[in-house]
Amino acid sequence: MVRQISVQDFLGLRATIPVIDVRTPAEFAKGHIPGAFNVPLFSNEERVVVGTLYKQVGREEAILKGLDFVGPKMRLIAEEARRIAAGNEVIVHCWRGGMRSGSVAWLLETTGIKTHTLLKGYKAYRTQAQTTFNKPTEYIVLGGYTGSGKTDILKELRRLNQQVIDLENIAHHKGSSFGAIGEQAQTTNEQFENNLFESMLALQVTEPIWIEDESKSIGKNEIPQQMYETIRSSNVIFVDIPRHIRVERLVKEYATCGAEVLREALKRIERRLGGQNLTRAMKALDEADFHTAADISLTYYDKAYLKGVIQRDKNKVHNLNLEADTPPENAQIILEFAQKKGLWKK
């Protein structure tokens, strides 16, 4: 007998029971539950045909056409589900927990596979994600100019048993014109939100969460609106590291990426950098003078970042001078500073 489960039960059960998404490959590519297997009931083209029939002719005709498509695939679907199943058990879902997941669940139960369906389907998962993003959350925002090593500091804070959300890691982008260099291809924004939701599930929203100061857009991905507004109104620890040290970090990160890649990144900020600065930076790259090129790029990035900081509540921006690019030591200093300011307690 097929068992319907709520999204709350689903989030627990999926740790031991594999999840099968029976939506089309196109739906799955746009956004899916991390870890789910795509075993589509219809191809992209077949779903269009069935949907058109449903709208133009009626439900019965659409179901009959769907049976034409599914009939020859029933054995393949069952065999794939059996391969995926753990302990002969799976969870199946479609978009709204309707006919597609119900049909596949019936098939799998008929072939002896214990099957659960997600009540209200993938849509319920997405709703739960949005609910999580909208929850009142206490963030401690780690700010600082480009090249301050904020991402590495966050990693060290996590090693110190702090709750951390690494937005740049989830987005596969560092948030600047140079942000995609050395990163995986970015996902759709829907998938970015799903991956962000998954990272938040392991955290206690009643306890402070460390997060890096970001623009709303990180490459082509965007932070959910309510979450972004909460971050913007949160306390910020602004780490101020000397510019020459930040230049050194940028050179280490990007000098091996190739001059042409760096040229393209500089061209994307030409309007904000200014023609003369761009010419100087390009000349520096031609001469393999990466330090000068990095220093010139900071002319724009420091100004842009400072503009964003000024727009915050000045009473919630806490400046902290750091003298070296040593993330383990800096993380400890930041924790002690946060405790002194009453932002974090042991």
Contact (Cβ atoms closer than 8 angstroms) between residue 121 and residue 104: no
- 296 contacts: CB under 8 Å, gap ≥ 6: 273, 277, 280, 281, 284
Give, in degrees to the nearest 5, the angle at Cα 254 between 253 and 255.
110
- The shares of helix, strand and coil residues in the chain, as percent rounded to the nearest 5, are 55, 15, 30
Q: How far apart are CA 106 and CA 85, in angstroms?
A: 15
Q: Is 257 a catalytic residue?
A: no
The H helix count followed by the E strand count for the chain is 17, 12
Contact (Cβ atoms closer than 8 angstroms) between residue 301 and residue 217: no
Choose, from 94, 119, 165, 285, the residue flagged as catalytic. 94
Q: How far apart are CA 44 and CA 37, in angstroms?
A: 16
For the beta carbon of residue 112, count every other beta carbon within 10 angstroms. 10
Contacts made by residues 105-109, CB under 8 angstroms, sequence distance 24+:
105/2, 106/2, 107/74, 107/77, 107/78, 108/78, 108/81, 109/1, 109/2
Cα dist. 117→44, 94, 98, 249 in Å? 22, 9, 9, 50
Q: How far apart are CA 317 and CA 237, in angstroms?
A: 6
Q: How far apart are CA 24 and CA 22, in angstroms?
A: 7
How do 37-38 and 19-21 pair as beta strands?
parallel
Catalytic positions, written as ranges: 94
